[in-house]
Structure 1
Amino acid sequence: MFTADGCSVEVYRLLPPGDEPGIVHAAIPEGASILELGSGAGRVTHALLDLGHPVVAVDDSPEMLAHVRAETVCSKIEELRLGRVFDAVLLGSHLVNTADDADRAAFLATARAHVAPGGRVLVEWHPPEWFESVRDGQGGRIGEVDVRLGQVVRDGDLLSAVVRYSAGDRWWPQAFTCRRLAVPALEAALAETGLAFEGWRAGDRTWFTAVPA
């Protein structure tokens, strides 16, 4: 089963949470409430629940949300308006690197609208150096899933590729296009939606926090 944007529900159920829950947990207070934008099947959600955080999981795929053991909201991120705020808003999956500038602004605006005063927005992104290093065949094993990139094409600041997920004798392709953002462009995109860059939350600069400006 695939979602509208080409994600395999089965793959996202197989993938382990990885380092993401620990990065998020270290950046916010104990028991902080979290709004997770683009939760998928709960890969990170469930680990955050285990760490003591109440989570509201948002995704536009009911097939993904059917596997989430938390409060869920089926909605596109850009259309979400809950009328509630949270101690932390999580925008993972490199969504900020979307090729569409309007989508990026809408994602960040939703995050800003739902973060409490004094709260934080946690964002996962592809830093500029990642775009320089990407090559066909690059990847590795994540839990029981092998992940490999192929058909890498660069066009200015845009990079397109196909991810091939495989587990046992099963495999699933997923195409994507993302945009390289220099740090000044990132800071400008945050500022346009009322957020300010706060700091890096991972040594490889793949996660950062932003706060209400």
Structure 2
Amino acid sequence: MTRVRPYYADQSLSAAFYDVVTAADAQLTGDIALYAGLGPAGGSVLELGAGAGRVAIALAERGFRVTGVDLSAAMLVRARARQAAASAEIAERLEFRQGDMTSLDLKRTFDLAICTYFTLAHVPAGAAWRNTFAVMARHLDAGGITAVHLPLVEAMRLPGPPPEALAFDRPLPGGGRLQLHVRERRFREAIGRLDQVIEYVERDAAGGVVRRSPERLTYYVADPTPFAAAAGLEAAQTPVRLGDVGEIWVFRKA
């Protein structure tokens, strides 16, 4: 097997085909409508883990002003390309910045702060979670809302498909296909950590391999409530289940 890259790294296929994978992911159905329902019409939104701009652009289309932050330069290239392709009205409501969600300080506040699509789960549930909740609280107006999408521990415990099986198989624009294999999957209950190696395979229209890239994806799971409370955030509603693998936790700044 070729060298294993981190997920969303430069030259990773997870970054290159992020939109293809998320567009086919029924487990995300309803997330954008949920986020939009948490903020005031035309309000300001801080998105941590903005990635390729899927959520940020959809919220801007609904009238929100969105600042999207991501650590991955490769993902931000795609987000800014989508911003450039949007109408002037939508594009002017968007700003994408590279930054670390555990130490971010934009010196301004927002109506809504969201940490989307398991972004928080990419870092260990300890100091990094405490710092990220503190960042969200610091960037919220009094009474502002934060929403965090996290994986379900019961889903993390499930075994993966056999390594030779196709976990994902979709056509690509212009011909060819994107295929994914789960080459490794291990959940360590004691520390709430799921480690996976997912191999991306891009094929041409004739079925030949164009590129392949095994990439390591790690998730951490824990109860976010104590971390939110330490940042001065209180539960605003019960968590909202999305599909079979995740839920969105909603907190309010006192």
The normalised TM-score by structure 1 is 0.82
- What is the aligned length? 207
Q: Does 1:154 align with 2:187?
A: yes
* 1:82/1:41 CA distance change after superposition, 3 Å: same
Aligned residue in 2 for 1:77: 101
Aligned residue in 2 for 1:94: 118
Q: Does 1:42 align with 2:53?
A: yes
Q: Does 1:6 align with 2:4?
A: no
Q: Look up the SS of the partner of 1:206 in the other structure.
A: strand
What CA deviation, in whole Å up to 9, does each residue of 1:104-158 have, x standing for no partner? 1111111111111121111110122222234235854688555553411122222
Q: Look up the SS of the partner of 1:164 in the other structure.
A: strand
Q: Look up the SS of the partner of 2:151 in the other structure.
A: coil
Equivalent residues in 2 for 1:68-147 (5 A)? Answer: 68=80, 69=83, 70-97=94-121, 98-137=123-162, 139-140=167-168, 146-147=179-180
Percentage of matched positions with identical amino acids: 22
Equivalent residues in 2 for 1:52-71 (5 A)? Answer: 52-67=63-78, 68=80, 69=83, 70-71=94-95
Larger CA Rg, structure 1 vs 2: 2
The Cα RMSD (Å) is: 2.7
Amino acid at match of 2:16: E
Q: Which moved more, 1:21-30 or 1:107-116?
A: 21-30
What CA deviation, in whole Å up to 9, does each residue of 1:14-34 have, x standing for no partner? 445653322211333322211
Distance in 2 separating the partners of 1:48 and 1:107: 22
Distance in 1 separating the partners of 2:170 and 2:54: 12
Distance in 2 separating the partners of 1:152 and 1:105: 27
User: How far 1:91 moved relative to its partner?
Assistant: 0.6
User: How far 1:43 moved relative to its partner?
Assistant: 2.1
Distance in 2 separating the partners of 1:105 and 1:149: 31
Q: Does 1:188 align with 2:230?
A: no
Distance in 1 separating the partners of 2:221 and 2:67: 29
Aligned residue in 1 for 2:218: 177
Q: Is the 8 A contact 1:16 1:142 kept in 2?
A: no
Q: Is the 8 A contact 2:168 2:179 kept in 1?
A: yes
* 1:38/1:180 CA distance change after superposition, 3 Å: closer
* 1:126/1:203 CA distance change after superposition, 3 Å: closer
Distance in 2 separating the partners of 1:30 and 1:111: 20
Distance in 1 separating the partners of 2:137 and 2:170: 31
The normalised TM-score by structure 2 is 0.70
User: How far 1:175 moved relative to its partner?
Assistant: 0.8
* 1:38/1:96 CA distance change after superposition, 3 Å: closer
Distance in 2 separating the partners of 1:83 and 1:143: 44
Distance in 1 separating the partners of 2:251 and 2:171: 30
Aligned residue in 2 for 1:163: 198
* 1:84/1:26 CA distance change after superposition, 3 Å: same
Q: Is the 8 A contact 1:136 1:151 kept in 2?
A: no
Q: Look up the SS of the partner of 2:224 in the other structure.
A: helix
Q: Which moved more, 1:101-110 or 1:191-200?
A: 191-200
User: How far 1:5 moved relative to its partner?
Assistant: 4.8
* 1:37/1:203 CA distance change after superposition, 3 Å: closer
Amino acid at match of 1:71: E
